[in-house]
Structure 1
Amino acid sequence: MAQPELVLGAKLGSGGFGTVYKGAWGVRTVAVKKFSISESESTKGAIQHEIRLLQKLQDRHIIQFYGATFHEDRLVVIMEYAECGSLTRVIEERQQKPKTQLQKQQQQQQQLQQQPLAPLDWPTKSRIAREIALGLAYIHSMMILHQDLKSDNVLLTRHMEVRLCDFGMSTVKTTSASRVSADVMKGTVGWMAPEILAKRPQYSTKSDIYALGMVMWEMAANCTTPFKEHRDNLVIMSLVKSGEREDLPDDTPADYRRWVERCWEQDPHKRPEAADMFSEPLTNNISADVTATSISTPPTTPILAAAQNISRQASPGLTAHTLAQRARTRQASNASPTGLSLNGRSNNNYNNTNHTSTPAHESREFAALKPLAIKDDTEAQMALARMYERGDGIPKDDAKAFAWYHQAARLGHLQAQFRVGEMFRDGVGTRKNDRQAASWFQKAVDQGLVVAEIALGAMYLDGQGVEQSDETAVLWFRKASELGGDAEAMFRLGRMYEDGRGVEQNDLEAAEWYLKAAEKGHKDAQRRWLDVWTRSRTRTLQD
């Protein structure tokens, strides 16, 4: 398949290895790291090392790697674009207070060009810390140490979701030993753990945890420069080795403070593992905050308490998890498997399905699912979305259905990403937006959803949200046909051959694809195959 064209846009920043640009790669907005022409052998090695690591890492808390190529004879790495930039930028922008009228005008102009950022209140800080811990837990499970964790290397999407980046200094552990010795120090002074500052640096997962504590301090103190009163790195290193730590603000919540202090333990063995840091919320309001920043009608604390109370009063066996599973099973049996009709539009017939469940039972089920959904259980979010979409025991509300689908989609749920694309395309529960539809279909395609390839192909065919291209539509239909074995894709590919769109007109080729689709039970393909095959045979006999 032909690769999308790469177009470089605005410069986002620069560093020792090169410059990062905002770019466009097909329908995706991407970040493009363009490396300098003359790189030393050690730098080239570091670049290759980072690319190899990024290829291995597939987690929603790690910046997504799309590929590496050459652009204008320069090596470029194409990655996911995080709209809000680094956590450093998010913190520092809240420190800046323009003094002159010109500075105010410049800041206003920047705000018009940039995605508005949510305020960093304590629940948001806690959630970000939790997501960083999740990212660390993942790379540690892959036997990888980050070794340069700081707010500069924590990127945030427009929804303030964490993406860890910059693995140039990372080490892959080749043994199960808890520590790795090194001849040189890696990292940034101020974020380095005491054991790294020894004559023979000792790295471990606990070194990354110490750095996480420093990032949590950055958010708490609204400051991105540890020990800023000391300009000499040797002085800072001496302070850290002797047990000195930065002060946390007086208004720091007790549990947030407790986690930071545990991360800062002088003895690395006393620090928690990353996987242990999200076994319980960092603040009491973290779950409510996740919903408040994502759902248009957030539940209040009393509503959440009432829902949890109803769940506790449910009969034995109707626990939150069993209710969620029951909802998923029933919804799966009622819903269309793909939601895609032959004309590329959503199949919403299941919205009018009659249900025999009593309203009282459904209300208990809804109450049990909601706390799970608030805590980022994507299956529970999907269940709530479908309940709202069908009016299943609750008033039908497409807007709330869209909000829950969107929440699950942002967390990486494959079917949710596809459904959000459909709703943007059809203007259901949200304002019609073809560009957003194409973007969400692309996300689902990136995760391998065949029906999303068909939907994206249809967008290219009609020029909806993307530049019209019969050739690109053919590519997506062919991929879904040959690799996915999808009957609808085969039917569409046959139609492209029959009409000569994106390919040379060929009735025999069209008939072949119609036949393949017909053999899979596609009724329209059965009719088209007979018509096209008869026509092609007639032409052959006439010739």
Structure 2
Amino acid sequence: MHSNIENSNEWIENAISKRYIKHFEYERFYNLQDVGSGSYGKICLANWKNFNESFVLKTFYDLNNITLNEIVREIKFRFKVGTNNENIIKFYGITKCDSKNFMLVMEYADSGTLQNYLKENFERLTWNEKFDLAFQLAYAVSCLHDEEIIHGDLHSGNILVHQNTLKLADLGLKKRIEEASNFQSFGTIPYIDPKSFARKKNEQNQIQIYSLNQKSDVYSVGVLMWEISSGRLPFGSKEQYDISLVNEILKGRRESPVPDTPKEFIKIYIDCWDIEPDNRPNINQVISGIINIQNEISNDDVNMNEFPDENNIKVNEISKDDDSIMNEISNDEDIEMNEIFNNSDIIMNEISNDDDVEMNEISNDGDVEMTDVNYDMDDDEFAIVDTIIDILSKVKENDEKQEILKYLNNRKITIQKIHNFILSNQTHSNSIVLLGKFNYLGIEMEVNEQKAYELYQKAAELGNVSGMNDLAHCYENGIGVSENKQKAFELYQEAAIKGSASGKNNLGYCYDNGIGTSIDKKKAFQLYEEAKIIGHSIAHFNVGLCYEEGNGVDKDHNMAFKLYQELTEEKFPDGIERLGYCYQNGIGVSIDYRRAFELYKEAETLGSISGKTMLATCYYKGIGTRVNKKKALKLYEEAANSGYSVAQYDLACIYDRGEGVSQDRKKAFELFKKSAESEYPDAMCYLAHYYQSGIETNVNNEEAFKLYQKAAELGNLVAQYKLACIYDSGEGVSQDCKKAFELFKKSAESECSEAMCCLAYYYQSGIETDVDKEKAFKLYQKAAELGNLEARNNLATMYEKESRNH
């Protein structure tokens, strides 16, 4: 027994020493107030140093081996679930009031327990708000079940509410301590799976104890949903919770629905408290049911003026979102915001359930705040620069600035110090490249693309492959120099020959898209594969896309899914986003909208702009979550402001149609234009339509033609069809039915019903081809099957003529 205590103590001390868990000095807490107690300890409210916000200190009456072991297990569970879940009370760290007595430092919930919250606020709660509470509860439980964790103690006295957000107080800690201590209580009888009350004997006449499971938690959720709908404790007051109530529940007694409760909501919680676990839904089915109810009554009116101006938010500012725990921080140099609260973003690489857990290194992947600390760079300055350049070779351009800041911040190196070092070491080629990055990204200086180009050129001349890749990027995009695709191709090729994984990936991209060379999809796939083998994550992602789309290799959705899974395990944000896309669309796996939503959310948390955009789409359309257009539009705005062309296009479409916002075609035009400048073909097509129709601009058929032409070259089916129509009519260009025929044919092959209809007419009339009424008939038939009304009418006309001829 003594050794168990020592092992648990050692685990906690080890976690503190390695800074996996924050240690708070007890003496710095003040205004301690006892606010509650339970069977195993008490709760104190306290302030920390000069912070205005309150913390909760959870103390224990007896820190024996049972309690310590369960504390350790609770902490491990929290790392598995993720310490930044808004529906679970945050664990900030540990303090000790003496050498042995551990206390948990927890988040404070301003509205107390759910039981108390309902008592004080029920009369003002709308059904929307009740549904939202139920959704939050089910979502929190689903996060546990995803990690194979059973709570086993869900009741309204163990669930807290803070700022109208529901939060689990613990992950079953209280229940496990009570069970291990043989403590019995009738206080939560209505919420407990009735199967656990029944005691059966096996063939050896031994009593079999029912093990609580995920369906036991679902039972509890059902009871809590009823409580949320009624505002009352189940079965009256706690004084009535006794053995007779146990027997009645076993015989089928349940609470009756309260008047005016939507029948769909009633069905969910009645299914949850079915006596047979196999008949109960799983927690994800509960979530889907609640989402369906919410979406039916969702209010689509959103005021975009409510959103903050995202343009002024800097990469290195402290987040002011709902997860922020502090409004003001002390300037005391002994304590940093990063030291206390970034533990909320900790990601454990691997945590086992054994007591002899081996903890791996932890990285903070949250938003970066550069701390101004005194740090003397030692002899490994060059190694630091080399490491940064290596990191940058494996991330996308949009992520480069944040990756630099994050790396420096984690090592407490100020930007000024690293900047001074690379300035004074311009004979070191990686220092030259990094200074180029500082100029290009505007780190410690104004953006200077010309200077960046010159520095990349200098590094490339010294044989530095990173310099070659960056110089090629400048030529490819006209950054600090005139655009020269051929020169870009040659530089990428040179870097690839020298063994650069980035060079191989970039060269593959050139072959994939015809940049400075002819398109060669097989060559592109081969180069992506070579770069993937030597550890390039972006190339790994591109190989997945090739298998998904059949690009240079036979289409294989199972292989694509496997590759995205591998990237997800490596925490590569865009790989996580694409795995979500697979779950959303059934690519290599069964459709699972909830899983897709969770993956998009994870990708967005790790900094994926595409993940943020897909998450916005989920909120906008109710994919795997309830419709929340306000949140969706905020995410679209953030992604669009970062320069992501897809988000700019999606947001433009919303303004164009006036869906959830006031129609604003002027803003739509500006966004389509920005997206089109990044060569996003869908945006080019929409912008061409604006020019063609004179929407928020003068009619400009020439500009429309150019945009359709460019989008068509990039494979956009609508653009190919529109361009064909222009050649067919001769509007703004010389009529060219031959070109129109080829474009209609190309677009029809990709199942564009409008193009099929036009191509059928060409075959029917013998325009630029022999008359072929059989082909025309088949094309009309196919287009009609796709819902094209014109094709249906033409098909009917052909039937009528055919019948008259007979």
* TM-score normalised to structure 1 length: 0.52
SS in 1 for 2:57: strand
1:78 aligns with 2:105: yes
SS in 1 for 2:142: helix
Pick closer, same or farther for the CA change 1:216–1:403 going to 2, 3 Å.
farther
Q: CA separation in 2, counterparts of 1:417 and 1:162?
A: 27
Give the unaligned 5+ runs of structure 1: 96-117, 172-182, 290-300, 305-369, 371-383, 389-396, 425-432, 458-472, 495-508, 528-543
SS in 2 for 1:402: coil
Which one has a larger percent helix, Structure 1 or Structure 2? 2
Contact 2:111 2:160 in 1 (8 A): yes
1:525, distance to aligned residue in structure 2 (A): 5.9
Q: CA separation in 1, counterparts of 2:294 and 2:253?
A: 30
SS in 2 for 1:149: coil
1:11 aligns with 2:39: no
Q: CA separation in 2, counterparts of 1:32 and 1:66?
A: 10
1:212, distance to aligned residue in structure 2 (A): 0.8
Q: Residues 470-489 of structure 1 correspond to what in structure 2 (within 5 A)?
A: 473-474=372-373, 484-485=407-408
Q: Residues 119-268 of structure 1 correspond to what in structure 2 (within 5 A)?
A: 119-168=124-173, 188-199=188-199, 200-228=209-237, 231=240, 233-268=242-277
1:50 aligns with 2:67: no
Q: CA separation in 1, counterparts of 2:330 and 2:164?
A: 17
Does 193-202 or 258-267 show the bigger shift? 193-202
Cα deviation, 1:363-413, whole Å, max 9, x if unaligned, reads xxxxxxx7xxxxxxxxxxxxx9xxx6xxxxxxxx4xx222999xxx9xxxx
1:63 aligns to what?
89
Please tell me the root mean square deviation across aligned C-alpha atoms, in Å: 4.9
Give the unaligned 5+ runs of structure 2: 1-18, 177-181, 200-208, 346-363, 378-383, 385-402, 447-806
Does 483-492 or 58-67 show the bigger shift? 483-492
Q: CA separation in 2, counterparts of 1:526 and 1:516?
A: 18
SS in 2 for 1:69: strand
1:253, distance to aligned residue in structure 2 (A): 1.7
Pick closer, same or farther for the CA change 1:232–1:259 going to 2, 3 Å.
closer
1:452 aligns to what?
368
Pick closer, same or farther for the CA change 1:253–1:37 going to 2, 3 Å.
closer
1:269, distance to aligned residue in structure 2 (A): 0.7
Amino acid at match of 2:191: W
1:256, distance to aligned residue in structure 2 (A): 1.5
Pick closer, same or farther for the CA change 1:404–1:514 going to 2, 3 Å.
closer
Pick closer, same or farther for the CA change 1:404–1:85 going to 2, 3 Å.
farther
Q: CA separation in 2, counterparts of 1:445 and 1:48?
A: 16
Amino acid at match of 1:51: I
Contact 2:315 2:367 in 1 (8 A): no
Cα deviation, 1:274-294, whole Å, max 9, x if unaligned, reads 0111224357456877xxxxx
1:139, distance to aligned residue in structure 2 (A): 0.9
1:449, distance to aligned residue in structure 2 (A): 5.3
Pick closer, same or farther for the CA change 1:272–1:476 going to 2, 3 Å.
farther
2:669 aligns to what?
none
Contact 1:33 1:77 in 2 (8 A): yes
Contact 1:220 1:249 in 2 (8 A): yes
Matching residue within 17, 20, 34 for 2:43: 20
Pick closer, same or farther for the CA change 1:475–1:201 going to 2, 3 Å.
farther
Q: CA separation in 2, counterparts of 1:54 and 1:487?
A: 23
Pick closer, same or farther for the CA change 1:484–1:257 going to 2, 3 Å.
same
SS in 1 for 2:129: helix
SS in 2 for 1:252: coil
Q: CA separation in 1, counterparts of 2:185 and 2:279?
A: 22
Matching residue within 56, 62, 67 for 1:32: 56
Q: CA separation in 2, counterparts of 1:255 and 1:269?
A: 20
Cα deviation, 1:416-457, whole Å, max 9, x if unaligned, reads 9956479x9xxxxxxxx9639999998678433576322xx3
Q: CA separation in 2, counterparts of 1:39 and 1:3?
A: 18
1:240, distance to aligned residue in structure 2 (A): 0.7
Amino acid at match of 1:79: M
Pick closer, same or farther for the CA change 1:78–1:260 going to 2, 3 Å.
same
Amino acid at match of 1:194: P
Matching residue within 324, 328, 337 for 1:435: 328
Amino acid at match of 1:474: V
Q: CA separation in 1, counterparts of 2:342 and 2:86?
A: 14
Amino acid at match of 2:155: K
Contact 1:126 1:283 in 2 (8 A): no
Amino acid at match of 2:308: F
1:46, distance to aligned residue in structure 2 (A): 3.4
Q: CA separation in 1, counterparts of 2:411 and 2:74?
A: 40
1:270, distance to aligned residue in structure 2 (A): 0.8
1:143, distance to aligned residue in structure 2 (A): 1.2
Contact 2:87 2:136 in 1 (8 A): yes
Does 16-25 or 190-199 show the bigger shift? 16-25
Amino acid at match of 1:212: V
SS in 2 for 1:52: helix
Q: CA separation in 1, counterparts of 2:60 and 2:242?
A: 28
1:229, distance to aligned residue in structure 2 (A): 8.4
Cα deviation, 1:216-254, whole Å, max 9, x if unaligned, reads 122222123534387351101101100110122112221
Amino acid at match of 1:252: T
Aligned residue-pair number:
345
Identity, % of aligned pairs? 19
Q: CA separation in 1, counterparts of 2:168 and 2:374?
A: 31
Q: CA separation in 2, counterparts of 1:475 and 1:69?
A: 27
Q: Residues 308-347 of structure 1 correspond to what in structure 2 (within 5 A)?
A: none
SS in 1 for 2:95: strand
Pick closer, same or farther for the CA change 1:37–1:90 going to 2, 3 Å.
closer
Cα deviation, 1:145-197, whole Å, max 9, x if unaligned, reads 111100112122214243452521567xxxxxxxxxxx998993121122111
Q: CA separation in 2, counterparts of 1:416 and 1:195?
A: 53
Q: Residues 293-304 of structure 1 correspond to what in structure 2 (within 5 A)?
A: 301=299, 303-304=300-301
Contact 1:490 1:514 in 2 (8 A): no
1:491, distance to aligned residue in structure 2 (A): 4.6
Tell me: higher relative CO, structure 1 or 2? Use CA pairs within 8 A at least 6 residues apart: 1
Q: CA separation in 2, counterparts of 1:165 and 1:287?
A: 33
Q: CA separation in 2, counterparts of 1:450 and 1:45?
A: 30
Pick closer, same or farther for the CA change 1:162–1:477 going to 2, 3 Å.
farther
* TM-score normalised to structure 2 length: 0.36
Q: CA separation in 2, counterparts of 1:206 and 1:477?
A: 56
Amino acid at match of 2:210: P
Cα deviation, 1:65-105, whole Å, max 9, x if unaligned, reads 2222313443111122222222012023348xxxxxxxxxx
Does 130-139 or 273-282 show the bigger shift? 273-282
Amino acid at match of 2:161: L
Q: CA separation in 2, counterparts of 1:229 and 1:164?
A: 20
Q: CA separation in 1, counterparts of 2:444 and 2:46?
A: 40
Cα deviation, 1:279-338, whole Å, max 9, x if unaligned, reads 24357456877xxxxxxxxxxx4x55xxxxxxxxxxxxxxxxxxxxxxxxxxxxxxxxxx
Pick closer, same or farther for the CA change 1:475–1:155 going to 2, 3 Å.
farther
Contact 1:193 1:207 in 2 (8 A): yes
Contact 1:23 1:31 in 2 (8 A): yes
Cα deviation, 1:445-477, whole Å, max 9, x if unaligned, reads 8433576322xx3xxxxxxxxxxxxxxx41799
Q: CA separation in 1, counterparts of 2:375 and 2:135?
A: 38
